[in-house]
Structure 1
Amino acid sequence: MGMKTAIKSTVGVLATESLAACLQKAEKYEKPVANNTDPEDLHQMRVQLRRLRTAMQVFAPSLVLPKGAREAQVAQVARKLGKQRDLDVIGITLQTQFAPDLPDGERAMLDKVRRRLAKRQQKAHRRVKKELQSKRYKTLKSALYKWTAAPDCKATARLSIDAVLPDLMLPLVSQLWLHPGWLLGTKVTRGTFKPDTRLSVESVDALMSDRSSTLHSLRKQVKRVRYQLKFVSEHYGDRLTADLERFADLQDVLGALQDSLVLEDFLAEWRSDWAAQLPTLKSLLLDSRHRAWQQWQAHQAYYLTTKNRHALRQILLVPGAAAPKAKAKATSTKSTKAATAAPAQRSAQASKTRQSRSKNTTSRQSSPSPQSSQPDNNGAASNDN
């Protein structure tokens, strides 16, 4: 069924505009990525492709996308870009974060690592360039542009976006809350999961080594939720701002943990005794990882708290620029004033909290779960005392 309506508040219009915007922004980076002059270009193109995939997933119940322009095709292109991006991040991290603090001997040794890395980057870039010139990518673009010009949608695309936003958003958020990554490195006290802040450095390293894919999977789910929240944020006023900021910070922290493991794997491929050859780098890498782990635990504690999860659910349940006002019968003048003042006080406090978080937000850094050492507790240390 073709969708002719131009009503901006429908599911179909929001979906079409979201897909078109992501595709246009991704295409803008094609030439810079092909020229390979700035790693940021490839990163931004990859971000837009991931956002495109998320939009396709969320709006899938209402869309009939052409065969050559579906999520699977977008994922194939994004994977090619992802391999080069991983190598770019290794190079940036070595150059900016670690090299300045290395002694001369280790810096000379690091030059050998970087030469090996440069060869891998060149090979990965050739594959990216080939992908951008491929029939698959050209078909993806042309088919999707043709679709956005005359969208083929199901009947549900005509529904008011405000009426179905909770149904679109809550499944994605539910997947996030139920992700096993939240329980990594936790302890159980009186039936409540909390981060185990007494884990030794060795225990953290072992946990990261054994369950890194779990945290990486959690990070990808955080990104999906954040991207989709941004797609629909205009329908909630500023009520999603605090969670969007927090999810962005969490994504950066989990990214730092993942980047440290990817770097360590690359060094191990270079030389099995790399830690002995580069002891200062090894120490700096572990220190950086453990700082990121502590930051992760702060986010983990926040989102393991039931009221914080419930708060986001409640916002998503009721679209609108402002939170709905509570209705209550006033039995006296005093109770009437109290009932009227309470929402305003909560709103003022929320505003102060957002402003405080905004001032303290750090700048941004640059997707089958393995068995746990304690499989009966999802990687958590049981402690009921």
Structure 2
Amino acid sequence: MAQPTPVRGLSADSQLGLAARRILVARLADIRKPEAKLSDAFDDEAVHDMRVATRRLRAAFQVFEPLGGWVARMEPEVKRLQDALGGVRDLHVQSAWLRTVAAKTRKETPGTRADITALGKTWLAGLADNETRLREELERWRSRTLPRLLRKVDALEDDHRFVGRRVKEPLDWRVRRVRKRMEVYADSPDAASAHALRKDLKKLRYELEIFQPALRRTLGALVKLFAPLQEGLGELHDADVRLEMFERLAARGKPRERKAARALLPLIREGRAKSSAEVARELQRWHAEAIPRRLRQVLA
């Protein structure tokens, strides 16, 4: 995953308006870097990086929401782009998985391999519609959303402290929410609780990254601990999406789809079990190292 553009020269006592201008400009730069690679074809890595960058920008909106109602009004515009990127990215992920599985299918089962390959081609047929939507959203972003954002960001002014109560209290709430999500998942480690934890963990990470320029010594090491758990939850989510999709195909798909789905379901369940075990190990580490408590101490 691409790292955010570094922002230097900020401290906890910097003016909130100055910090917001510099950080929002950096987040916009993070979006525009991969955007340049999407002019002709939708490169998978660029789509992924741009999607992550839009999430980081929305996290910045959340942090700087006290600076004006325009932030809340612009957030849905960025989400439109993020959703369009997700529609293409999700098909890329599942199709790549199918290609890998088809390539590994034993030569003794050439019929099954052909069914899996055919299923992958069927999925890719739906990619054209998603790419059309993404092109439309990219044009909307370039011609409408980005110019409006740049005008708003350039005019931001607020002389409150950057790392002050106005922004720290919502972040503390986010830490407590993630801790609660972890407890819910530990009691019931199903797809819904895993997905809820994953979403809130990402929001917390991207919001914490905003404060790294001012709290680098105390926050930097803690933010790095997010990556293994976030990646594990991402793999678990992909497995859950795959499992639901193939269980539906196995029950109600066309004959060839049912055959391919039934052949793949044991492999999908095995992969989900491995991802679930990895997430359980990371959650145990978070508990053992008291990471939520340490985060709250930094924000106190």
**Contact residue 176 and residue 218 of structure 1 kept, 8 A:** yes
**Contact residue 38 and residue 46 of structure 2 kept, 8 A:** yes
What is the TM-score with the length of structure 2 in the denominator? Answer: 0.83
Amino acid of the residue matched to residue 249 of structure 1? P
Shift, 1:306, TM fit: 8.8
CA–CA separation in structure 2 for the residues paired with 1:30 and 1:143: 18
What is the TM-score with the length of structure 1 in the denominator? Answer: 0.66
1:137–1:221 CA distance, 2 compared to 1 (3 A): farther
Within 5 A, what are the aligned runs for 1:1-385?
A: 9-65=14-70, 70-96=74-100, 98-104=101-107, 105=110, 106-134=112-140, 138-151=143-156, 153=157, 157-164=158-165, 166-167=168-169, 169-179=171-181, 181-186=182-187, 211-268=190-247, 270-272=249-251, 276-278=259-261, 281-304=264-287, 307-317=290-300
CA–CA separation in structure 1 for the residues paired with 2:95 and 2:243: 12
**Could you report, residue by residue, the CA deviation over 1:112-149 in whole angstroms, capped at 9, with x for unpaired residues?**
11111111112111111112123x66321111011122
Amino acid of the residue matched to residue 39 of structure 1? D
RMSD (Å) for aligned C-alpha atoms: 2.7
CA–CA separation in structure 1 for the residues paired with 2:285 and 2:52: 26
**Contact residue 84 and residue 134 of structure 2 kept, 8 A:** yes
**SS of the residue aligned with 2:70?**
coil
1:137–1:218 CA distance, 2 compared to 1 (3 A): farther
**Could you report, residue by residue, the CA deviation over 1:309-368 in whole angstroms, capped at 9, with x for unpaired residues?**
212211222xxxxxxxxxxxxxxxxxxxxxxxxxxxxxxxxxxxxxxxxxxxxxxxxxxx
More helix by share: 2
**SS of the residue aligned with 2:212?**
helix
Shift, 1:109, TM fit: 1.2
**SS of the residue aligned with 2:176?**
helix
1:62–1:168 CA distance, 2 compared to 1 (3 A): farther
1:37–1:128 CA distance, 2 compared to 1 (3 A): closer
Shift, 1:280, TM fit: 5.0
**Contact residue 54 and residue 227 of structure 1 kept, 8 A:** yes
**SS of the residue aligned with 1:133?**
helix
The runs of 5 or more residues in structure 1 that have no matched partner are 1-5, 187-206, 318-385
Q: What is the identity percentage for the equivalent residue pairs of Structure 1 and Structure 2?
A: 24
CA–CA separation in structure 2 for the residues paired with 1:304 and 1:130: 44
Shift, 1:92, TM fit: 2.1
CA–CA separation in structure 1 for the residues paired with 2:233 and 2:88: 19
The runs of 5 or more residues in structure 2 that have no matched partner are 1-8
1:12–1:241 CA distance, 2 compared to 1 (3 A): same
